[in-house]
Amino acid sequence: MNEYAVRVAAQLRQRYAHEPEYLQSVQTWLEMIDPALDDPRYEKLDLLTRMVEPDRMFMFLVPWVDDKGVAHTNHGYRVQFNSAIGPYKGGLRFHPGVTPSVVKFLGFEQTYKNALTGLPIGGAAGGADFDPRGKSNREIMRFCQSFMNALYRYIGSDTDVPAGDIGVGAREIGFLYGQYKRLMSKAESSALTGKGLTYGGSKIRQEAAGFGTVYFLARMLEHQKDPIEGKTIAVSGFGNMTWGVCRKATELGAKVVTLSGPDGYIYDPSGVSTQEKFDFLLEMRAKGQDRVSLYADRFGVPFFPGKKPWEVAVDVVIPCATQNELDVEDAVHILANDVRYYVEGSNMPATTEALKLLRLSPKILTAGAKASGSGGVAVSALEMAQNSIRYNWTPAEVDQKLRDIMSSIYDASAAAAEEYGLGYDLIAGNDIAAFKKISEAMIAQGL
Ligand code: GLU
């Protein structure tokens, strides 16, 4: 590895020894962009340090009262990572596992994910260690309002534009936006994205994360001259991204045969491929129990408690749940089952060792979340554009733009991989193309 990169990595390990997810995402990225580091300007300007550390990070307490009158105090975060290309932009995650390390890894990945959308957005992330499970609607509203009471001073349509992530969907964005509007006394719609369709949201935003991932997969299949029709897909999770993947895969003639939750996974050999099943995913989420076994009860398919879906023999694997959900044992299963495509939906779904196994195996083609998972944020940027021109595109128009954006991300990744002699390594190709774009923007804007 490049000497300067080795020093930057060592410094980071020393300074943030207690932040494993953040170190993991930076370390992997440094390895991926290594072939492109042969430029003396980078060290001269200490560019890598400025790229792997966030510009700033806010931490705040989020006090709220539950329905029984009991007080709770959660920890809220917003990390503004990089604004070389545009205003800070990224999701908010409400999950008990949210820590400064998780928020920083998400913000880091978001910066490089956003860069290749071709739209003017920088990178950010945020959230809170709040567990939405089993909370009433009123509790969620009060929590969101308290969260915004702290966050509002740091965000804005030209500053930092939050959106959803795990635990933050259209309902939460509605409560957050309502409070922002009250505090600011103005309807600044593009200060948040993922809004409802009645107050400035974009068509296809909910679908975008999953649709984008399948569009990316479709380009990989096209490259292999391998038809998408009839392909079986294993996915994890049953949230927003999974829902979109099931729908678009069905439309293109493929079928998703697994779903998972913290309780285990289900196997549906006929596919999660009817309107009734798509709607049931939304129902399961609205119930707020976080259990996928409900699907097995409803449709009479097998449920495997405590297991992960990666043991099922399929053509394509798309992790859609959360970071490090796929370990070495899972990667070994995937390779033993002769799975041919590994396409990341969720951010950093594989552990370092698992990713290495998959990437280096000639048996399987791999795509990283910073490319294949960028559909959601791409439509977020389209939502900002629509808000500023006070206009709404039709679903077909947004879908076509999303498709074009995913295609250009694919093209840029494949081209960079080829340019640096990396063959068809779409993960490294994407990281290199995004790195080049952001570094040029940073250099142009001075220290
Ligand atoms: N968390 C989402 C993502 O991964 C949303 C980001 C956004 O729309 O700003 O891209």
Q: Give pLDDT, residue 323.
A: 97
Nearest protein CA to atom 8 of ligand 1, as residue: 377
349-362 pLDDT, tens per residue? 999 999 999 999 99
Ligand 1 contact via 349 beta carbon (within 6 Å)? no
CA–centroid distance for 64 within its chain: 28
At the top level of CATH, which class does the domain 55-199 belong to?
Answer: alpha beta
Structure tokens at 176: 């957050």
Provide the pLDDT for residue 443.
98
Is the domain defined by 208-372 classed in CATH 3.40.50.720?
yes
Distance CA 394, CA 81 (A): 32
Residue ranges in the chain modelled with pLDDT below 50: none
Q: What are the residue ranges spanned by the domains of the chain?
A: 55-199, 208-372
The whole-number pLDDT of residue 226 equals 98
Instruction: Name the residue with the closest Cα to ligand 1, atom 5.
Output: 91
Dihedral (Cα; 331, 337, 339, 344), 10-degree rounding: -30
Q: Which of 164, 324, 131, 177 is nearest to 244 (CA)?
A: 164
Q: Please tell me the distance from the alpha carbon of residue 93 to that of residue 106, in angstroms, as a whole number.
A: 10
Q: Is 193 in the pocket of ligand 1 (CB under 6 A)?
A: yes
Cα–Cα dist 65/381, whole Å: 34
Which pLDDT score is estimated for 255?
98
The whole model's pTM is what? 0.98
Our answer on whether the CB atom of 195 is closer than 6 Å to any ligand 1 atom is no
Q: Judge if the beta carbon of residue 74 lies within 6 A of ligand 1.
A: no
Identify the pLDDT of residue 109.
Answer: 98
Please tell me if the CB atom of residue 122 comes closer than 6 angstroms to any atom of ligand 1.
no
State CA 216 to chain mean position distance. 14
The predicted pLDDT at position 192 comes to: 98
**Distance from Cα 194 to the centre of ligand 1, integer Å:** 9
pLDDT score at 219: 98
What is the C-alpha to C-alpha distance for residues 51 and 103, in angstroms, rounded to an integer?
A: 16
pLDDT given for residue 150 in this prediction: 98
CB-CB neighbours of 279 under 10 Å: 11
List the strands of the sheet with 232-235, edge to edge: 303-305, 264-267, 255-261, 232-235, 316-318, 341-343, 365-367
Q: Residue 418: how many CA atoms within 13 Å on its side-chain side?
A: 6
3-class SS of residue 62: strand
The SS3 call for residue 339 is: coil
Which pLDDT value is given to residue 61?
A: 98
Length of the chain (residues): 447
CB 408 within 8 A of CB 52: no
CA–chain centroid gap for 383, Å, is 17
